[in-house]
Amino acid sequence: MASMIEDLLRPENLPDPTQSVRLVQTHISLVFVGDRFVYKVKKPVDFGFLDFSTLDKRKYYCQKEIELNSRLTKDIYIDLLCVTRNNQGFKIEASPRGDIVDYAVKMRRIPEEGLMKNLFAKGTLTNKHLRRLAGVLADFHSRAATNSEIQEFGRPERFKVNTDENFQQVEPYVG
């Protein structure tokens, strides 16, 4: 994985022109941030509640991420791209010219000054921002399909089972 990261940090290995690339890592993703676009590659991990351990699973969950998140962010999630490898190394490509070794979600980059965490840090996050976000989320949830099986997941007993399981699964990583 280290050689893939090293290659994908070079601008010429991304599909869109960029002057620089920086890496942001989360517990489940490698996020390559270019000037105008961001490429997210899921790490091959299995936390029980998230299983990205195979190439097919990572492709499936990249597709689901685009499908589900596009409902609230219509112009952010763009496409599913291939991470390929050939004798010259790793690249992210729309039309693969090497062996497909992984998948990446292509997203439009949000300007740093527009991120809520940065507005908060600068003291410019307002109640207007929060009300607008709350309105979007409330509208989204009010239109979501539901049934008794789905409602079961919101019951306190079920929620406790899930949080207890999450704590058990991450306990080995604490320290």
The 3-state DSSP class for residue 21 equals: coil
Which has the minimum average pLDDT: 52-56, 122-126, 152-156?
152-156
Phi-psi sector, 48: left (phi>0), alpha (psi -120 to 50), beta? left
DSSP state of 109: P
Query: Which tens digits make up the pLDDT trace of 34-93?
Result: 999 999 999 999 998 899 999 999 999 999 999 999 999 989 999 999 999 999 999 999
User: Among the residues of the chain, which ranges form H helices?
Assistant: 2-8, 55-69, 116-122, 127-143, 148-152, 156-170
Q: What is the pLDDT of residue 159?
A: 83
Helix (H) or strand (E) holding 102: strand 99-108
C-alpha to C-alpha distance for 174 and 95, rounded to whole angstroms: 41
DSSP 47-75: -SSSB--SHHHHHHHHHHHHHHHTTT-TT
C-alpha to C-alpha distance for 79 and 106, rounded to whole angstroms: 5
